[in-house]
Structure 1
Amino acid sequence: MDHFRCRLAATFVVAQLLVAPAMAQEEEQHSTLTIGAGIAAIPSYEGSDDYRVMPLVQARGKVHDFAFWTRGTALYVDAIPDPTGTGVDFELGPVVNVRLDRTSRKAIRDDAVRALGKRDVAVEVGGFVGVGKTGVITSDYDNLSARVAVTKDVAGAHGSYVVTPTIEYFTPLSLTTFVGASVSAEYVGKKYGRYYFDITPQESLASGLDVYNRAGGSGFKRLNVNLSAGKALSGDLRKGWAIFGVAGYSRVLGKYADSPIVADAGSRNQFVGALGIGYTF
């Protein structure tokens, strides 16, 4: 089970891989589904300088114009039907995320951080709101969107909230190729920092890392930038097989980056990469 959870944690890096095919669907299609799978190289924990290669699975689609998508270990459901054609798309709906960081000792390669012990699985429940526009710069089919998700752990792990603002842009270069970019951040509550980044005296003795008690208090924890691209194998992004790739950079910020978990045992600079294949029905 722990190994399975670690594999699930890898899926967050390919969230962008499935967005553009869904956006490129023919206007008359009111129900679609894109499923993707592949491999990703990700840090072994948030703030690590060791990397693991993991399998991944993601999905995106809509049922009668009501969209849904996975974003790593999170599921978003848009309760506002998508409009047809170019125009403004308002988003509002629930989101559920399962946070699996450091829930398995086997996933942590650094001996000192492993000695700090496992963290419990966090189940973060909340909602999101956003707005998007199709037909912005390059054609009637490119898309610019912005959204904010707010969730709170209800499983008793970190017991705090996470606010995730995101801006995304995707454009098809042809009927067979797309490129995209996204920028996001994570703002967390004080309990989150204490749970994942503070080190108690007892943990310091066990790990050899210095005591750290300054990660409490709310603040921006991480900034993420991702670039993605895809190429249809069937000759049409709107259906059939396609291959995708993503490259990403994240930076752990402020007092979270100053934690010995990051500053001594890891790195504030985080890189991700993934290759995948998807099928659109």
Structure 2
Amino acid sequence: MYKRPIMLAFGAALVSSLLLANASASGQEASPYSVLNFSSQPAAAPDWIVTLGAGAQYGPSYEGASKTNFSVLPSDLDIRRAGEPEGFSAPDDAFTYSVFDSNGFSFGPAADFRAGRSRSDDRSLAGLHSLPFTIDAGVFGEYWFIEDRLRAHVEIRQALHGQQGMVADLSADWVQPYQAFTFSLGPRLSLANGTYMRNSFSVSNGEAAQNDLVTPYRATSGIKSVGALASAAYRFNPAWKATLYYKYDRLVGDAADSPIVSRIGSSNQSTVGLDLSYSFGVKF
């Protein structure tokens, strides 16, 4: 689903970070996030904690597809001050950075990847326009109604390439820690503007003439999908964490009525994924 060069670059960065990180240093009690030190001096406590993650998921080849495939993608990128507690992040959250955090409310910039679509995903797409891979950028807002238990999360993101439109993703999560585990469960709602819907789900007269599986169709803005996500994270130690998750989305409205979905693909979208993240300390 995602472009291989970007995945390779991220993988190289992740491997490099792992090679430069060390969990402890001899000679004194050290932070579990101490950075690798080649000198004989004990490692100093870090100033910042950096978390990088990558994951594999099995799900639709493109939005609205009935065919599925495996993909590898970055799953976590976080920087926080040493001593600051690790915050909760759902597997489908975008990459976010909080510029304001007070009384359970936070907001800041957000960015994410948006998968493309081409005939290589499904031969039944012959004659239909392709969608290039792109990056979304925008803002997020989050509020914890019950501290560390119940949160509401909103993201509004605009595609930076190909005029592919804007999406707004709304979610809520109940978070339940249990020893080394953290479980979460909550509903999802996604809306899209007219540009996004036309690019993803409309069919022109010319395309319909080249593909007898579809008919001309024009999608408009509105609710795109509803669904839910469940996850279970296990922290092996302060550095390593694994997260298993399942997400279900059902396309609705103009998205579900599109012949790209109703005649070629499916309105039911299920994704299973496994993420692995590593945290290490950095001192400046």
Partner of 1:115: 127
Q: Of the two, which has the highest radius of gyration?
A: 2
2:142 to 125, 130, 144: 130
**TM-score using structure 2 length:** 0.73
SS of structure 2 residue aligned to 1:242: strand
Change (3 A) 1:206 1:273: same
1:205 to 206, 209, 214: 209
Q: In the alignment, residue 210 of structure 2 is paired with which amino acid?
A: A
The separation in 1 between residues aligned to 2:124 and 2:47, in whole angstroms, is 51
Q: CA deviation at 1:98?
A: 3.6
Structure 2 contact 2–71 (Cα < 8 Å) conserved? no
Change (3 A) 1:276 1:162: closer
Q: Deviations over 1:145-173 (max 9, x none)?
A: 11222223343422x32211121222211
Q: Deviations over 1:60-116 (max 9, x none)?
A: 4333369897966943111014x6xxxx321111123342221x543x1x2122431
The separation in 1 between residues aligned to 2:189 and 2:71, in whole angstroms, is 23
Q: CA deviation at 1:246?
A: 0.5
The separation in 2 between residues aligned to 1:2 and 1:153, in whole angstroms, is 15
Partner of 2:110: 95
The separation in 2 between residues aligned to 1:211 and 1:201, in whole angstroms, is 8
Structure 1 contact 34–279 (Cα < 8 Å) conserved? yes
The separation in 2 between residues aligned to 1:2 and 1:60, in whole angstroms, is 17
Partner of 1:186: 190
Partner of 1:4: 4
Aligned-pair identity (%)? 25
The separation in 2 between residues aligned to 1:134 and 1:73, in whole angstroms, is 19
Q: In the alignment, residue 4 of structure 1 is paired with which amino acid?
A: R
**TM-score using structure 1 length:** 0.74
TM alignment of 1:213-252, pairs within 5 A: 213-216=217-220, 218-234=221-237, 239-252=238-251
The separation in 2 between residues aligned to 1:42 and 1:35, in whole angstroms, is 23
Name whichever of 145-154 and 182-191 sits farther off. 145-154
Structure 1 contact 90–130 (Cα < 8 Å) conserved? yes
Q: Give the number of equivalent residue pairs.
A: 240
Residue 165 of structure 2 corresponds to residue 148 of structure 1: no
Q: In the alignment, residue 105 of structure 2 is paired with which amino acid?
A: F
Q: CA deviation at 1:6?
A: 9.2
Structure 2 contact 55–75 (Cα < 8 Å) conserved? no
The separation in 1 between residues aligned to 2:5 and 2:225, in whole angstroms, is 22
The separation in 2 between residues aligned to 1:132 and 1:30, in whole angstroms, is 27
Q: CA deviation at 1:43?
A: 0.2
Q: Which runs of 5+ in 2 are unaligned?
A: 9-45
Structure 1 contact 128–148 (Cα < 8 Å) conserved? yes
Query: RMSD of the alignment, in Å?
Result: 3.1
Change (3 A) 1:170 1:67: closer
Structure 1 contact 230–242 (Cα < 8 Å) conserved? yes
